[in-house]
């Protein structure tokens, strides 16, 4: 068994490894050298390993493999706490899941309403509910209704389905959402998840017994209501398409990689690219028409500058007519200067971002040094380490130069 390393020792080790890597990478400022190449390969290998682990743990496993081989379900109501509803009581004897179930007498209360449930259901495929009857009730039905508040619709919406009570004992019911009757607009306006759409905020779930069930005097037990996303077995084909990319390494089967690449590119072009264009571009065009009159002075000046810059840049890219006339040449030249100004701002912002990274490295080297010493001693340590690394870089360059000379002679 390896001896335990004190926490202070780990901090010291981590700091000096980080300092060597940081200053060693900066030796590229002198010349291409072996110190830089060693640390460059170290960083690339570390990034590749980290990226692989993150891809497996955060993408492939939770978002592809588990949904493919398991059922994802979230509890809506466990029915194992006192209900505080008329005609309903907690029964810890007849239960299926958890500590108890709700014993419901429709003859005393034909309807019960669950509130305070999780509102975000995502895009479920179906609901699962455990239901128990002492004896079958022919023509008896329980209407299950999901009340939904959709932020994208003005009125409350609902999904409902009827559950037959022609059985006895416990039964786990699987209620497909596509079989529910829809009132209003329960789904959000943004994109579908597969063939199922995202629900709005669920505000309540209601159980309504029909007259036949009420008159029968039957007792109903409710237990464990869940919304579920089923097994997505067809996602296994994604593995086949992904493996086809590696056939590029085989001269005989390389055509398969081109097939998968063209297929996915066509899906991206027809689906994401076109959809992104229709979603993003029209609002931007609409926003370009800004009022100059009928608004306050500051807004009018701002809108006028915006529209003027937009028109000048558009004229610069208008190549159907030669830029000879002064009415075209002037705005086009101004548009070119405005483009250069914009590119300069973007480039300056990029440079400032790189300087921020450099300052962050200096902060690490100078202010996060765990050595208990004054700032000048810490500075001397960093400078000394930099001299050693740049000296090693210089020696490696000289070694390669002399070896090249010997090989030439």
Asked if 111 contacts 207 with a C-beta cutoff of 8 angstroms, the reply is: yes
Q: In which residue are the tokens 């002492």 written? A: 134
Asked if 209 contacts 139 with a C-beta cutoff of 8 angstroms, the reply is: no
What is the phi/psi pair of residue 142, to 5°? -120, 120
Alpha-carbon distance of 320 to 314, in angstroms, equals 12
Cα 307 to chain centroid distance, Å, stands at 36
Q: In which residue are the tokens 């008159």 written? A: 215
- Using a 10 angstrom Cβ sphere, with 0-12 exposed, 13-18 middle and 19 or more buried, the burial of residue 131 is buried
Beta strands in 78-219 (DSSP E): 88-91, 101-104, 111-115, 126-133, 141-149, 157-164, 169-176, 181-183, 201-209
Asked if 381 contacts 371 with a C-beta cutoff of 8 angstroms, the reply is: yes
Per-residue pLDDT of the chain (409 residues; tens, 9 = 90+): 445 667 778 888 899 999 999 999 999 999 999 999 999 999 999 999 999 999 999 988 888 888 888 888 889 999 988 888 888 999 999 998 888 999 999 999 999 999 889 999 888 889 999 999 999 999 999 999 999 998 888 889 999 999 999 999 999 999 998 899 999 988 887 654 444 578 888 999 999 999 999 999 999 999 999 998 877 888 888 888 888 989 999 889 889 999 988 888 888 887 777 777 888 888 888 888 888 888 899 999 999 999 999 999 999 988 887 878 888 889 999 999 999 999 999 999 999 998 998 899 888 888 888 888 888 898 899 999 999 999 999 999 999 999 999 988 7
Asked if 206 contacts 218 with a C-beta cutoff of 8 angstroms, the reply is: no
CA distances from 60 to 49, 64, 68, 172, 195 (A): 15, 5, 10, 31, 21
Asked if 222 contacts 98 with a C-beta cutoff of 8 angstroms, the reply is: no
Asked if 77 contacts 225 with a C-beta cutoff of 8 angstroms, the reply is: yes
DSSP code of 4? P
């Amino acid at each position: 068994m390896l001896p335990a390393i004190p926490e202070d020792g780990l901090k010291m080790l981590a700091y000096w490894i980080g300092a060597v890597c940081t200053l060693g990478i900066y030796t590229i400022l002198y010349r291409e050298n072996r110190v830089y190449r060693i640390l460059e390969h170290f960083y690339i290998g570390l990034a590749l390993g980290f990226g692989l682990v993150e891809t497996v743990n955060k993408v492939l496993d939770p978002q592809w493999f588990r949904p493919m081989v398991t059922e994802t379900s979230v509890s809506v109501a466990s029915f194992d706490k006192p209900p505080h509803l008329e005609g309903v009581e907690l029964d810890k004897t007849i239960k299926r899941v958890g500590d108890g179930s709700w014993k419901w007498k429709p003859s005393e209360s034909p309807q019960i309403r669950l509130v305070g449930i999780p509102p975000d259901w995502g895009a479920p495929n179906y609901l699962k509910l455990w239901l128990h009857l002492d004896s079958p009730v022919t023509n008896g039905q329980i209407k299950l209704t999901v009340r939904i508040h959709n932020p994208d619709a003005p009125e409350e919406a609902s999904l409902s389905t009827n559950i037959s009570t022609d059985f006895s004992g416990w039964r786990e019911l699987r209620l497909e959402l596509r079989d529910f009757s829809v009132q209003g607009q329960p789904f959000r306006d943004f994109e579908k998840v597969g063939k199922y759409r995202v629900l709005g905020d669920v505000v309540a779930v209601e159980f309504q017994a029909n007259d036949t069930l009420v008159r029968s005097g039957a007792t109903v037990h409710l237990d464990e209501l869940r919304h579920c996303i089923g097994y997505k077995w067809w996602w296994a084909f994604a593995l086949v398409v992904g493996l086809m990319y590696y056939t590029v390494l085989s001269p005989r089967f390389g055509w398969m990689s081109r097939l998968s690449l063209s297929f996915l590119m066509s899906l991206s072009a027809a689906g994401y690219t076109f959809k992104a264009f229709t979603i993003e571009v029209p609002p931007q065009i609409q926003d370009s028409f800004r009022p100059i009159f009928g608004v306050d002075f500051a807004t009018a000046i701002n809108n006028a500058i915006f529209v003027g810059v937009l028109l000048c840049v558009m004229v610069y890219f208008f190549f159907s007519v030669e830029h000879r006339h002064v009415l075209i040449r002037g705005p086009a030249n101004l548009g070119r200067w405005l483009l250069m100004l914009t590119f300069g701002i973007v480039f300056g912002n990029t440079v400032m971002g790189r300087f921020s990274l450099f300052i962050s490295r200096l902060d690490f080297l100078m202010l996060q040094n765990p050595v208990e010493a004054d700032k000048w001693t810490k500075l001397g340590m960093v400078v000394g380490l930099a001299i050693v690394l740049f000296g090693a870089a210089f020696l490696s360059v000289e070694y390669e130069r002399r070896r090249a000379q010997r090989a030439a002679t």
